[in-house]
């Protein structure tokens, strides 16, 4: 589990490295996991996110939130960007 200082540091690093970049492809639910939670059907994530430009990232508790157009991507420990 990420600690608050880690999520804040990772969010800062994301702002420095990926902010303003376009999503070329998105893959959700590629590995079965009992603690992966999705809003809606993960099969539609690629269509929804491909082409979006990544915006500001925030550390929120043990999670990171990244804006992408009108979407919010929330990631926790174990996510692979």
Q: Write out 42-68 in H/E/C secondary structure.
A: HHHHHHHHCCCEEEEEEEECCEEEEEE
Question: How many domains does the chain divide into?
Answer: 1
In a domain, 34, yes or no: yes
CB distance 79 to 26 below 8 Å: no
Which residue numbers in the chain have pLDDT < 70?
none
In a domain, 59, yes or no: yes
Say what the pLDDT of residue 31 is. Answer: 76
In a domain, 42, yes or no: yes
In a domain, 80, yes or no: no
**pTM exceeds cut of 0.75:** yes
Instruction: Give the CATH number, domain containing residue 33.
Output: 3.20.190.10
Domain that holds residue 27: 4-75
In a domain, 70, yes or no: yes
């Amino acid at each position: 589990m990420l600690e608050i200082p880690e999520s804040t540091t990772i969010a800062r690093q994301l702002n420095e490295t990926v902010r303003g970049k376009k999503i070329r492809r998105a893959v959700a639910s590629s590995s079965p996991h009992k603690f992966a939670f999705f809003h809606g059907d993960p099969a539609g994530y690629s269509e929804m996110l491909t082409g979006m430009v990544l915006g500001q990232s925030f550390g929120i508790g043990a999670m990171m939130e990244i804006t992408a157009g009108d979407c919010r991507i929330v990631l926790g420990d174990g996510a692979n960007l």
